[in-house]
Amino acid sequence: MEQSSGISLKPIPQSDRHANFWSMFWLWAGGNILLATFMVGSYFSESLGFWPTIVVCVTANLTACALCAVSSQRGAKYGMDEILVLRPTFGFRGAYYGAFVLIFINFGWIGLLSSMTGTASLNAVTELIGPSASFTGDFTLYAVGGGILIPMLLVMSSPKTGFYLSSITVPILGGFSLYILYELLSSGHMEKVLSHKPTGEFGWAFAIETCVVWAVAWQPYLGAWNKFAKTEKAAYWGSFWGLGLIAILFSITGGVATLATGEIDPAIWTVKLELGFLATIIIILGTITTCSLLLYAGVMALLSLIPKLPYKLATMLVALPSLVFVYDAQLQSLFGIILLFVGLLAGPYWAVVMADYFFLRKEKISTEACYEPAGIYSYTHGVNYIAVAAQLVGMVLWMWLGGWLSGLSNFSFSSGEISFQYLTATVPSMIVSAAVYVVMVKWKLKQASPAISRAYPEP
């Protein structure tokens, strides 16, 4: 198979990379156009009120997406998949954690998005045509067809389909979303929106945490697509503006719609605002686009674990288990908790990787060693335990600061909850993990630790 097709795990040569800034922009904008992005703003708008919601949606999303854009440069520089460029930091086998996080979170994400699509499509079609539009199996058709089967077939045909699809859907869906926001801001709804008294149930810290975690959730997926970028600059700015602008537009729209209707679920407020037709288009096309991007990244992660697995079989193995979550209504109600705990699972891990790549390796890794199980990135039995330890320190900090968000008493600490209001959880845990790793590696290098020193050869 050709390397430029994106199916091979081998590095894509510079001459075979086709994605410029606009390609990357449309791609990541397309990835963020989905119902769940509306819900990011909806979660805190009633607590903060209109103007604070606007401020948080703009500043927190841009800041968090800048972090993602920085991380995107590794794959773009070396033309390698995300899981492969994790190996210099965590080791050949230590990178399995990143692969498992991506694959298993994928099951939930795709299942959840498919389920939300099924419910929202049913509501929108019923509002447009009436109860007569309902038929046996209609939920399955909308959910499984739009969220799993069509994306699976598209990814099987060619990974490049994601670029083509996004370049078509983003202008359409972005325009519709701007229209929805315009209708909200220019109609009689604004009187209710502006007169809303903030409940104060959640503060600024919760709002910022929600936006940050939504951006961090993209970290495992960046390298799978940014390896196609012609330059690091195209990958950085394409990721930043693609993810950032849509995150701002959709979270603001969702927040304002919640203030206008009192509903968080887009499947409900789109009906209340009589936006059934527009909502149906955004729901279906957005889900197909996003799930295609998620699915391809999951497939490449699985192939990094089992390189000899046929590509089409890997696609089915990553796509079909999501069916389990499509019919689980409880999963939708747990969306907020799932989203927040992505910060625990992914934040410290990718923070260690970024600190290692930029501060210790000065953006230089050995591509050949990334494919050698017994090479310089084998560390101890294939795992860099210093990186794992640094990650665990950050995860413990996250649990202390943010465990209360789960609502489970065993993970709730009153002192941590108080500190969360000033610090949030994901960003501090990432900073601490990154700092611990840098300090520990430099200390081990001074002691001439063989497992570490050979992975950090003298420049």
The mean pLDDT of 423-435, rounded to a whole number, is 97
What token pair was written down for 235? Answer: 């990958």
8-state DSSP, 8: S
Going by C-alpha positions, the residue among 440, 459, 226 that lies closest to residue 362 is 459
The per-residue pLDDT for range 43-53, each reduced to its tens digit, is: 999 999 999 99
Rounded Cα–Cα distance for residues 293 and 118 (Å): 19
Residue 19: strand pairing partners: 229
Q: What is the amino acid identity at position 178?
A: L
Rounded Cα–Cα distance for residues 141 and 124 (Å): 14
Percent of the chain with pLDDT over 90: 61
407 burial via Cβ count (<10 Å: 0-12, 13-18, 19+): exposed
Contacts of 449 (CB under 8 A, 6+ apart): none
Check pLDDT > 80 for residue 187.
no
Is pTM beyond 0.85? Reply is yes
8-state DSSP, 61: H
Rounded Cα–Cα distance for residues 192 and 205 (Å): 25
Domains of the chain as residue ranges with CATH: 17-334 (1.10.4160.10)
For residue 2, name the pLDDT band (cuts at 50, 70, 90). Answer: very low
Check pLDDT > 90 for residue 207.
yes
